[in-house]
Structure 1
Amino acid sequence: MTDRPAEDLDYLSFVDYAIGKTKAELPDTDPVAMRLGLTLHRLAGALVYDWESTVHRPRGLSWGGFRVLFVLWLAGPLESRHAARLAGMSRAAVSALVKTLERDGLVTRTQVPRDRRAVQLALTEAGRGTVTDAYQAHNARERAWAASLTPSEQTVLIGLLEKLTTSPAAAAAQRLS
């Protein structure tokens, strides 16, 4: 697989190529773990690209902006640090996104009385309408992706992904952030 010119590769065939080349350079490489990591990364990237390009950008949202709105819709109002944790983002990223969301009339920021440094975020009515509209379209894309698997395959995959996200390696990565 490594004798193919790189120009002839596509997004998916690059995985086989990368594994072959890496194994040749570093024989102790675990090709199964590498394939798992590359495949998950590429799938996540493809999902985000699809959702952002077909659902969120046409509605004037970024992927990050949608994530903040989604968290506030379901769990808000929240202090910005809690919104960041639930959205899987840094506080700085949420702060930057909220400036745009507030400018667009989708989110409000108010100072938390007990801690003048903290800010509480809440959806406006326009924000609520935006996120519910966006999520309906988002879920349609989720269904389209999930349709490639049978219901039992979906259940097995969810279980395996949840096992990875609760693994010791995942817990160690969360401690670092």
Structure 2
Amino acid sequence: MPSTDRPDADDTSTRAALPDYWSFVDAAQRRISQEFPDADLMANRVFLSLNRSSSTATYDFESSIHRPAGGTWSSFRLLLALWVAGPLNPNEAARLTGMSRAAVSNLTATLVGKGLINREASPDDGRSVTLHLTDAGLERIRTAFREQNERESRWAAALTDDEQRTLVRLLEKLMEQRERIGARTRK
């Protein structure tokens, strides 16, 4: 007897009704409203849509720009942080990129091996290191940024300038709530 807690795995009619992600969101909203009548469906839809949109664009950037150039989305984020902020210690780099300290450490080893960044003893603390872009790293981030920004422009062309500004304002407004709601962030 199938469980009533989840859709039947053999129910091909459910799978057939989910041809793409946005149909999945609609199906999720129906399912959630049945099991959780008091759920905030609009908040759920906002974050399902935000997460999917972000991951889709990120995958596009990585697969069309960064991987063909021998990089990754994570390496782009670290090179970008060093380009924008200048030399950083690994903890600062982790905070700015949204990566864990361990991920930055592993990525640093790879990027040092490729000659894109240097790791030097910190002048302030001999136990710590500072990460710097090399000339090759500077060239790589400039090239990658130029290509990504062209791709970003193609994505954003679906919106008018006013719609783009509105979207940015709304996202910034959401992020302003981090402290008020006690959102967890990487330290």
Aligned to 1:6: 15
Q: How do residues 85-164 of structure 1 correspond to structure 2 at under 5 angstroms?
A: 85-164=95-174
Supply the RMSD in Å over aligned alpha carbons. Answer: 1.9
Structure 1 residues 170 and 158: alpha-carbon distance in aligned structure 2, compared to 1, 3 A threshold:
farther
Q: Does 1:43 align with 2:58?
A: no
Alignment of 1:80 onto 2:90 = yes
Gaps of 5+ in 1: none
Can you list the C-alpha shifts for 1:100-132, whole angstroms capped at 9, x where unaligned?
000000000011133233110000111011110
User: Against the structure 1 CA distance between its residues 86 and 175, is the aligned structure 2 distance closer, same or farther, given a 3 Å change threshold?
Assistant: closer
**Structure (1 or 2) with the greater strand fraction:** 1
**Where has structure 1 moved over 6 Å in runs of 4 or more?**
none
| Superposed displacement of residue 8, structure 1 | 3.3
Classify the secondary structure of the residue corresponding to 1:173: coil
Q: Kindly tell me: are residues 167 and 176 of structure 1, through their superposed partners in 2, closer, same or farther at Cα, counting changes over 3 Å? A: same
Query: Cα gap change, 1:105/1:171 in structure 2, threshold over 3 Å: closer, same or farther?
Result: farther
Q: TM-score, structure 1 length as denominator?
A: 0.92
Deviates more, 1:161-170 or 1:85-94: 161-170
Asked if structure 1 preserves the Cα contact closer than 8 Å seen for 2:95 and 2:186, the reply is no
- Give the 3-state SS of the residue equivalent to 1:120 in structure 2: strand
Q: Which structure: greater helix fraction?
A: 1
> Cα gap change, 1:157/1:134 in structure 2, threshold over 3 Å: closer, same or farther?
same
The answer to whether 1:71 aligns with 2:81 is yes
**Quick check: 2:65–2:144 contact (8 Å CA) kept in 1?**
yes
Q: State the aligned residue count.
A: 176
- The residue type equivalent to 1:80 in the other structure is P
Measured at CA, do residues 12 and 155 of structure 1 come closer, stay the same or move farther in structure 2, by a change above 3 Å? same
Q: Which residue of 2 aligns with 1:166?
A: 176
Q: What is the TM-score normalised by the length of structure 2?
A: 0.88
The answer to whether the 8 A contact 1:164-1:170 is kept is no
Determine helix, strand or coil for the equivalent of 1:22: helix
- Measured in 1, the distance between the counterparts of 2:172 and 2:178 equals 12
Q: CA deviation at 1:24?
A: 0.6
Flag structure 2 segments of 5+ consecutive residues without an equivalent. 1-6
> SS where residue 109 of structure 1 aligns?
strand
